[in-house]
Amino acid sequence: MTTYSFDDDSVVVIIGSGAGGGTLANELCQKGIPVVLLEAGERQSSATFINDEWPSFQQLSWGDTRTTSGTWQIARDFPNLPAWICKTVGGTTTHWAGASIRLQDHEFRARQTYGDVKGASLLDWPLTLTELEPYYARAEDKMGVTRTNDIPGLPGNNNFQVMYNGAMKLGYKHCSTGRMAINSRARAGRAQCMQLGFCFQGCKMGAKWSTLYTEIPAAEATGKLELRTQAHAVRIEHDAKGRASAVVYADAKGELHRQKGRIIAIAGNAIETPRLLLSSSSTLFPHGLANGSGMVGKHYMRHTTGSVFAEFSDPVHFYRGTIMAGLISDEVHFNPDRGFVGGYEMETVSLGPSFMAAFFNPGAWGKDFTRVMDNYTHLAGMWIVGEDMPRESNRITLSNDTKDRLGIPVANVHYDDHPNDIAMREHAFKQGSAVYEAVGALKTHRVPPYPSTHNLGTCRMSLKEADGVCNKHGQCHEVPNLFISDGSQFTTSGAENPTLTIVSLAIRQADYIAESLKTKAA
């Protein structure tokens, strides 16, 4: 097993082992670059994953306290759990559902396409779809995305069948089992999906792509990776010239260590990444590292979401098979006639009784609630995921009064729905209900957003230094050897599930870092 000394300043230190950090680590190791990968959580495996919702949640989730504020319903329903993301090797790629869709061309130019939306700080990405396309192709091949690279689509389950029939009756044209990073056939040493129905709980087949059992072992095999688990980054240090020099992290016992590095890349998800930068303030960077623009933590986006569940007179057993079994893409395009900019996808979702009870209508009790639960086997469900508006006031800050076990202020997540988000959600709720009513739903239910799985934008890419935190390679404007490697980079959210884009950006960033090391540009 490869180990590096704490004083070895030739290594790249990566914080976080999920879609961004895990991929970046492997890509760099494949090029022969030494990497220390710090992961706050423990290492699980397909063998230790649990087919039971709450026990699995305990095993994988980031349960450390956070606080919330703002008018979003999450602040009321789950005040200390704003995000449903993971603290484990592989990060949220253990929990994700596998939907792998490219952002659309115009979504990279949201400001130009949507115009000046009042109360939003829209900005065009400093990157185009054309520039990212080769990396999307590499990501799709790496992840084994269905309907790319001659990989067949997945078979649809009962939940998909209900969605499909409703979509066709409603006149929608684009409904299929879509592009998923779930093996429809055995591929790359991983098994075919056996439709377990536990995508959210870590795939026990290993059929769903996760950095846990793809990128990380591949990186380890190069002899260039040292993965340190239960290593929770608390501060990034810099030298007199303002270059990032080391990461201070706490081990499982809470003891602090300092790992030096040539380059530091942060991929702690869009809540922890800005928290770490804000916690790393110094005389030279009084408002937080790389925060001269004041943009660190701002423009927090979490996608406009919600779910529609429908009761039927006949059974569906929607829990059988993949959670995101298929999607409707007819509403994903830019069409301001609907009363909002941006678009949304409708994707099947199912929950077991445990999560159904917790998330269907948080706080509800009595007969109206239990009657739906009694109809559990006769439910179909979909999740709405759409573009939300970046706003400076939607932001991650350090809590004034709540601290973690190490005495560091926890992240506060503030979010107010923009009128565009509200209009889109309303439209999506109507259309989602109509899909199910078209095939005879007895009753449809609008289900409020779950704690956020898509957390984006808090260290956004920008052409001008004043507008964001990093450039189109995720390289911080102010600190050239500091990189943002997760969804925090997103300039805008797009409507699509973000993992494929995070992976594509990480592959691209690895090429850039390798080139920079050669030319000493970073």
Partner 1 sequence: MQDVTLNRRRFLQGSGGLLLGTLIFGSGPIALLAPSRSWAMEMNTLSSDVAAKLLLVIRRVYPHDRMEDAVYAFAVKALDERASTDPSVLPLLDKGLSDLDRLAGGNWTSLDETRQVALLEEIQHSDFFILLRSTSVNSLYSNELAYQHFGYEGASFSKGGYLMRGFNDLKWLPAAPAEASPSAFS
Q: Identify which of residues 20 and 432 has a Cβ nearer to partner 1 in the complex.
A: 432
Q: How many residues bind partner 1, per CB under 8 A? A: 55
Burial of 466 per CB tally in 10 Å (0-12, 13-18, 19+): exposed
| Residue choice 196, 264, 308, 522 for contact with partner 1 (CB under 8 A) | 196
Sort residue 515 into left (φ over 0), alpha (ψ -120 to 50) or beta. Answer: alpha
197 lies in the site for partner 1, by CB under 8 A:
yes
Please give the sequence-ordered ranges of beta strands (E in DSSP) within 359-487, or none if there are none: 379-386, 395-403, 409-414, 443-447, 482-484
Alpha-carbon distance of 211 to 64, in angstroms, equals 22
| Residue choice 43, 106, 185, 446 for contact with partner 1 (CB under 8 A) | 185
Q: Identify which of residues 356 and 413 has a Cβ nearer to partner 1 in the complex.
A: 356
Alpha-carbon distance of 482 to 485, in angstroms, equals 10
* Residues sharing a CB contact under 8 Å with residue 464, sequence separation 6 or more, in sequence order: none
Per-residue contact track with partner 1, 457 to 496, x per CB under 8 A? ----------------------------------------
Please give the sequence-ordered ranges of beta strands (E in DSSP) within 415-489, or none if there are none: 443-447, 482-484
Per-residue contact track with partner 1, 411 to 450, x per CB under 8 A? ----------------------------x-----------
Q: Identify which of residues 225 and 435 has a Cβ nearer to partner 1 in the complex.
A: 435
Alpha-carbon distance of 370 to 381, in angstroms, equals 17
314 lies in the site for partner 1, by CB under 8 A:
yes
Q: Identify which of residues 138 and 320 has a Cβ nearer to partner 1 in the complex.
A: 320
Q: Identify which of residues 205 and 463 has a Cβ nearer to partner 1 in the complex.
A: 205
402 lies in the site for partner 1, by CB under 8 A:
no
Other CB atoms within a 10 A radius of the CB of residue 321 amount to 22
**Which pair of tokens denotes residue 129?**
């779809």
Interface with partner 1 in residues 65-124 (CB under 8 A): none
Q: Yes or no: say if 269 and 66 are a contact pair by the CB < 8 Å rule.
A: no
| Residue choice 162, 231, 505, 522 for contact with partner 1 (CB under 8 A) | 162
Distance of CA 136 to the CA centre of its chain: 16
332 lies in the site for partner 1, by CB under 8 A:
no
Burial of 362 per CB tally in 10 Å (0-12, 13-18, 19+): middle
Contact region with partner 1 (CB under 8 A), list: 115-123, 125-133, 366-374, 493-501: 366-374
515 lies in the site for partner 1, by CB under 8 A:
no
Alpha-carbon distance of 113 to 91, in angstroms, equals 33
Q: Identify which of residues 69 and 192 has a Cβ nearer to partner 1 in the complex.
A: 192
150 lies in the site for partner 1, by CB under 8 A:
no
Q: Identify which of residues 205 and 284 has a Cβ nearer to partner 1 in the complex.
A: 205
Q: Which helix (H) or strand (E) holds 476?
A: none
3-state secondary structure of 399: strand
Q: How many CA atoms does the CB half-sphere of 220 hold within 13 Å?
A: 11
**Which pair of tokens denotes residue 196?**
């377990």
231 lies in the site for partner 1, by CB under 8 A:
no
Question: Shortest approach of partner 1 to residue 435 CB, angstroms?
Answer: 12
Question: Shortest approach of partner 1 to residue 324 CB, angstroms?
Answer: 14
Other CB atoms within a 10 A radius of the CB of residue 382 amount to 34
Instruction: Single out the residue of 101, 99, 49, 102 nearest to residue 212, CA to CA.
Output: 49
**Which pair of tokens denotes residue 95?**
């929990």
Q: Identify which of residues 158 and 475 has a Cβ nearer to partner 1 in the complex.
A: 158
| Residue choice 29, 219, 296, 356 for contact with partner 1 (CB under 8 A) | 356
Q: Identify which of residues 41 and 321 has a Cβ nearer to partner 1 in the complex.
A: 321
| Residue choice 363, 400, 519, 520 for contact with partner 1 (CB under 8 A) | 363
444, amino acid identity:
T
164 lies in the site for partner 1, by CB under 8 A:
yes
- Look-up: residue for tokens 């009064």? 401
Given the rule CB under 8 A, which residues bind partner 1? Answer: 51-54, 152-158, 160-162, 164-165, 175-177, 184-185, 192-198, 204-205, 314-317, 319-321, 326, 352-354, 356-358, 363, 365-367, 369-370, 373-374, 376-377, 439
